[in-house]
Amino acid sequence: MDVTPNHIDKTPVGPPSECHETRGAFATLARSYPRGASLGLHAHQEAQLLFAARGVMQATTTRGRWLVPPHRAVWLPSQRPHAVDMLSDIEMRSLYVDPAHVAAHPKAGRLGNEFVVRVAPLLRELILGCFADRRHPERGVALGRLILFELTEAEDPATFIPMPQDPRARRVAELVLAEPDGIRDLEDLAAVAGTSARTVTRLFSQETSLSFRTWRQRARIMAAIEALCGSSPPPVKDLAHRLGFSSTAAFDYAFKQVTGTTPTAFVGKGGG
């Protein structure tokens, strides 16, 4: 998906009139989406915490792509262009935060960029608690403030893949994401993008802080996570073969390097 500032819809998705509840500094929105639904590139006046209570989605910004399985959420600052794709049936929960409230928060410095967080039990209950009781607005504000504190302690880049900005490297990245099995070698990918393998290697290192080899490995693991979080996850052995790993052991090792756990454990924990 091409995410460029030239195609931004500034109309907020889920404005206050559609929110489950508005609490001054905080507003909530609960929605269900079918697999394949997409929210095109847009930006909100408010900061947004995007959480999948059920299902798997993908959030894309100019910085890269975040895979959002259950037990993960994405923080998006105010006016940050992003798109969201539903990779399965989704129960989406969004918390919108007034930018002035974010700026006044003691952890404001950590909330200026988008990032993924691991939603541990406490953070999950805080998020869901914002949707549960509308009788006491001050309770919602207190929950919202606690959520912001928890976010800054729970950042987890395991499901993030940075995207290079140079058009040649970006083209190579898109080719890899479209074919995560890794059949094409770097020279072939570079030729399709109209450049050299050496240039691609340099650009990936400069623009993603990852070597091309490491970036490609992460892309394969992201594809694995997407498959494992689907409604009918394949056997780990079959998935390893499909993604071009030499063995299940090699796949387990690569998966653990990125996520900190094995594919089997990842599924057992509902996405970490």
CATH hierarchy code of domain 5-159 = 2.60.120.810
Are the beta carbons of 63 and 39 closer than 8 angstroms? no
Q: Which tokens go with 240?
A: 């390893």
Same fold, 5-159 and 162-268: no
The reported pLDDT for the residue numbered 156 is 76
CATH 1.10.10.60 at 162-268, yes or no: yes
- The residues facing 30 across adjacent strands are 93
Could you state, in order of their start, the residue ranges of all structural domains in the chain? Answer: 5-159, 162-268
Q: Which tokens go with 162?
A: 């940075």
Are the beta carbons of 172 and 189 closer than 8 angstroms? yes
Kindly report the pTM of this predicted structure: 0.75
Residues 6+ apart with CB under 8 A from 188: none
> CA-to-CA distance for 13 and 21, rounded, in angstroms?
15
Output the tens digit of pLDDT for each of the chain's 272 residues: 333 333 333 333 333 333 334 446 889 999 999 988 999 999 999 999 999 888 888 999 888 988 888 788 999 999 999 999 998 888 999 999 999 989 988 888 889 888 888 888 999 999 998 888 666 777 888 898 899 999 888 777 777 899 999 999 999 999 999 888 777 899 999 999 999 999 999 999 999 999 999 999 889 988 898 888 776 788 999 999 999 898 999 999 998 887 778 888 877 654 44
